[in-house]
Amino acid sequence: MFLGPRMIAVAFAAHFVSGGFTFYAYSVLFTAFMEDFDASRLQISTGVILTQLAVALCSVFAGVLLDRRSIARVMALGAALLGAGFLIASYAPGLWAFYLVQGTLIGAGSAMLGNIAPSTLVSKWYDRNRGTALGISQLGISASGLVMAGLAAWLAVRVGWRGTYVVFGLFSVLVMAPLLLAVVVSRPEDVGQRPDGELPPAASAHGPARERIARPEHWSAPLRQRAFWAIVLTIGLVSGVNGGVGLHLPAHVEALGLGRVVGGAALSLTAGAAMVSKPVYGRLFDRMDHRVAPTLTALMQAAGLVLLLLTESTTGVLAASAVFGLGLGGVAPLLGALVGAAFGRERFGRVSGLLSPLMLPFSLGGMALSGLLADRTGGYALSFQIMLVGAIAGALAIQLYRVGPARDPAAPA
């Protein structure tokens, strides 16, 4: 039996835990952090910014490990580090200690468990149907938002944010890490299978077919390809928009006077809409010009932002959140699909690792800018207008992406 679907399920779970615990739950707990630490929006935004900084820096090394070592061990170690980080952070006596853990253990754990790791696993198992497989696996990110936004709010009311972090930590260490070690198979070739479940190459009259051996490639080779920089600009811009809006959406709703419950509902609806759209974007990528799906996701983000800027009612905010979510859904799967199409599955981890720190200024800038402008203006109108410009720029940047069929580095020149 082809094990690819099982790897998709594992990637789904890894995305669920990593994305749900470190981003969606953080957004819902945002005001609880502010109250406990007596901090501003910018100060609390700094916590997740430090996490993303650690993720980006660690991803460079994680990408190399994922291409060369056991993916199961890398991801299991990430789950253990993530869990330890949550357990330690739950006892943080002040903001400085909270920052320290968010920017070390939680960031490193997230880089090795989530981020590029599940996408690398899926990309090793799928080639021809990579976009569709990534879209399905990354439903875990949206599912985590759909579930974790409400669950984190429920836990926070009953045990506080510190108790919520203890629950996250125990689950990561006791459930996620053992599961990964037991189930993950790094590559289909490790169990005598082929990507997409295809049959092995037939033997020829000259003897059995042999796998081509990849020639060594300098780590900087991808930096000389235009497709690489098109991905940086496009995904960087839309990721910045996601961070600037997603992290602050519940706080924006509360600032409108609609309450914390509506804020959590808006975030959940955003995640639900993203969940619906992810497989669609993946399918579009596999079947159409590779620029169509990224253009569509950026334009849907822009449409959602326009609606957020025009409404202050509960119904309007929820509708705008859903539209924005339809755009958000394309960002994660399309990053992996674009990398796979341009660089092939054998270089997927390394190239993804190189991309991560280069896109960091966009994602961190969006989060920090929204928090800073909200503190200074008392609302999110100006920051959302800037995010709207960023989404439109992302739709334009992907037009620079030009690539034919992915060249396998094992192929002769």
Q: What is the pTM of this model?
A: 0.71
Average pLDDT over residues 317-329: 88
In angstroms, the CA 7 to CA 48 distance is 28
Residue 196 · residue 1 · CB < 8 Å:
no
Angle at the Cα of 324 (from 156 to 305), degrees rounded to 5?
A: 105
pLDDT band at 408 (very low <50, low <70, confident <90, very high): very low
Asked whether 342 and 227 are in contact (CB, 8 A), the reply is yes
* Mean pLDDT, rounded, of the chain: 82
State the pLDDT at residue 219.
Answer: 55
pLDDT in tens, 59-78: 888 887 887 778 899 999 99
Fold of 4-188+222-400: Growth Hormone; Chain: A; (1.20.1250)
